[in-house]
Structure 1
Amino acid sequence: MALFPPSTNHDYRGAKISAWFLMFVAVTEFIPGLIHYFLPDGGAGVIGGVDLSVRGETIIAVFAWFGAIQIPFALLLFVIGLRYRTLVPLGLLAVITMRALAAIDGWFLKGSYSGHHPPEHYAGPLTVVLGLVFLFLAVREQPVQAAG
């Protein structure tokens, strides 16, 4: 069995822009993943403004752990958008769910205690809304273009 089975793009009937949006989201997931994993403080202090004076090592470790999840997730989303477009709706649903849960936590639950909001707290709700639009377009069958 090959690592990459044959492409399913010819069976995809949704909007191509949805696949492109999924690949864009993959990039916006991959770059923070690299930051969280490779930056000395994981971006917690220099980008997120998190106070690292108490339990800083643990916070940095959690950021690195999250980066280790983001990097392969982003690669998977990119491959789906590029080669396996029949899975675009499922990829978008995963993104919507992840970003919605993170936004709810960041604005209303555990992540909201300090009142400080890093960039992701603002990008998350926007990604959810755009993700819903592109999910609608991905599941809505596009008219077949006549060859000619």
Structure 2
Amino acid sequence: MTIMTMLLPESTNAAYRGHPAAPWGLTALGILTIVPGAIHAFLPDGGAGVIAGLDLTHNATTIIGVFAWVGATQIVWGLTMLAVSLRYRSLVPLLLALILVERTIIALNQWVFKPGDGPDRPPEAYATLAVIPVVALLLTLALKRRA
């Protein structure tokens, strides 16, 4: 048994019975998670200043470090989405449900519980609001059984 077959056992795609649009939507979500993850992990300021417009005159090292940490987790989460959407489709409903929980918590924190001091919000605050209904639709499609 090779390391690749140990890391990536047989595909479960044949066991998936949901709508075919759901795994493809998860593929898109995976790519759209990896890209900002790479920006956060590899841009010199993690996108904190040049994209999010955060003031880096105070605590820049901490802010950039947190952005890099979040970027690393986004890359891994996005790769997980791709693995499930392309090879382990029986897990598509579970991953979409987890993404829905994640995005809901993020939105609640960004808009209700911890909205910040100023009116400016990072682009992700708005993207999250757009993604929640899309993920809910994809989850509904994934749970809908085909004959």
For the aligned pair, the TM-score class normalised by the smaller chain equals over 0.9
Aligned-pair Cα RMSD in Å: 1.1
Please state how far the C-alpha of 1:6 moved relative to its aligned partner. 0.5
Tell me what 1:59 maps to: 63
Please state how far the C-alpha of 1:94 moved relative to its aligned partner. 1.5
Deviation >3 Å, runs of 4+: none
Deviations 1:76-135 (A, max 9, x none): 100100010000011111111111111111112224322211111111021111101110
Tell me what 1:146 maps to: none
Q: Where in structure 1 are there 5+ consecutive unaligned residues?
A: 144-148
Write out aligned runs for 1:4-43 (5 A). 4-43=8-47
* Matched length: 143
Distance 1:17 1:113 in 2: 40
Tell me what 1:142 maps to: 146
Identity across aligned pairs (percent)? 42
Distance 1:85 1:103 in 2: 27
Which residue type is aligned with residue 88 of structure 2? Answer: Y
For the pair 1:86 / 2:120, whether they are aligned, the reply is: no
SS of alignment partner, residue 52 of structure 2: coil
- TM-score normalised by L of structure 2: 0.93
Q: Where in structure 2 are there 5+ consecutive unaligned residues?
A: none
Tell me what 2:114 maps to: 110
Distance 2:44 2:55 in 1: 15
Tell me what 2:72 maps to: 68
